[in-house]
Chains A and B, each alone.
Chain A
Amino acid sequence: MADEVLFDLLHLELICTYASSADECKEFDVSKLETIGFYTGYRLVERLTREWARFKDELDIMKFICKDFWSSVFKKEINNLRTNNQGVYVLHDNAFRFLTKVTNSNQFLSSTPKYLAFTCGLVRGALMNLGITSVVTADVSSPPSCKFQVVAQRM
């Protein structure tokens, strides 16, 4: 694995390239970032699961995302996972890697969405390749902790 700082800085530049062009209008165009995240996650999970047996069920997959997937990307596990058992999962990270350097108070709160878009895509891509079509959103109430909500689409 390449040095962590390389990933951090590359991610930072991705944000600057794809999100700050729309600096004037309040709404950041984060769909491009999300797409990059999606394909990264899609390919990454292929590599990470090469030594895994097939997953039992959806919850099993979510546990894999929270533990192995998260620690291979962010060097830490998700702090808390909640579910309503109907396809909605909330992943709680108390110190989200891309936010810890940026803010630990309400400063810059309005620009936090762009730091989360890539990761939303990453999770969505990983789940997609494991057979779960989902919608992933993120929300930050008190940085650097944040919540990712995964809504699995039931066919």
Chain B
Amino acid sequence: MTIYNLYIFNSAGSCIYYTEWHRKKQAGMSREEEMKLMYGLIFSLKSFVLKLSPVDCKEGFLNYRTSKYKLNFYETGTGLKFIMNTDVNAVNVRELLQRIYRDVYVEYVVKNPECKMGKEIVSEVFQSKLDKLVRSFPIFSNRIL
């Protein structure tokens, strides 16, 4: 099992953080374009899912899966969006994303005056805590499948 990469978008739709662990194929475009594409995808999927749902759905869009990877989506009450690509069999990714938000983002970005709200995250302590948390999770493994 493995975790490929992580995107964090703020409520205004700009990417405030991106990091990757095992990414074997690049998008073939600039980072900036890739972020726009990703946000567009999430935005559209969210409204598709809501509109086409035959029942009243509370959670909305949570994840999708291809034959090769799984995209996991978690949106906080404040509109922050966490997107993590994992392999298809990864479980409990939602829990991991919630913990990233609760234990790392809130602690080391919200409570850090050096991190301006809504701007790109440059804090090194955030980076190292995030990396540590992700690596400690069972679904993270260095074996590339």
Contact residues on B (Cβ < 8 Å of other chain), bracket: 10 to 19
A40 CB to nearest chain B CB (Å): 19
* CB 8 Å contact bits of B32-57 with A (1 = contact, 0 = none): 00000000000000000000000000
Residues of A within 8 A of B111 (CB): 5, 8-9, 12, 101
Q: Does B112 contact A (CB under 8 A)?
A: yes
Rounded to whole angstroms, the CA-CA distance of A108 and B111 in the bound complex is 15
- A residues apposed to B, CB below 8 Å: 5, 8-9, 12, 15-16, 100-105, 107-108, 111
Q: Can you give 25 contacting A-B residue pairs, CB < 8 Å?
A: A5-B111, A8-B111, A9-B111, A12-B111, A15-B113, A16-B113, A100-B125, A101-B107, A101-B108, A101-B111, A101-B125, A102-B112, A102-B113, A102-B114, A102-B123, A102-B125, A104-B124, A104-B125, A104-B128, A105-B125, A107-B123, A107-B124, A107-B125, A108-B123, A111-B114
Residues of B within 8 A of A103 (CB): 114, 123-125
- B residues apposed to A, CB below 8 Å: 107-108, 111-114, 123-125, 128
Rounded to whole angstroms, the CA-CA distance of A9 and B128 in the bound complex is 22
Residues of A within 8 A of B113 (CB): 12, 15-16, 102
A88 CB to nearest chain B CB (Å): 31
User: Top 7 nearest A-B pairs by Cβ distance?
Assistant: A101-B111, A107-B124, A104-B125, A12-B113, A101-B112, A105-B124, A108-B114
| Closest B residue by C-beta to A111 | B114
| Closest A residue by C-beta to B115 | A102
Residues of A within 8 A of B128 (CB): 104-105
B132 CB to nearest chain A CB (Å): 11
Rounded to whole angstroms, the CA-CA distance of A107 and B125 in the bound complex is 9
Rounded to whole angstroms, the CA-CA distance of A6 and B24 in the bound complex is 44
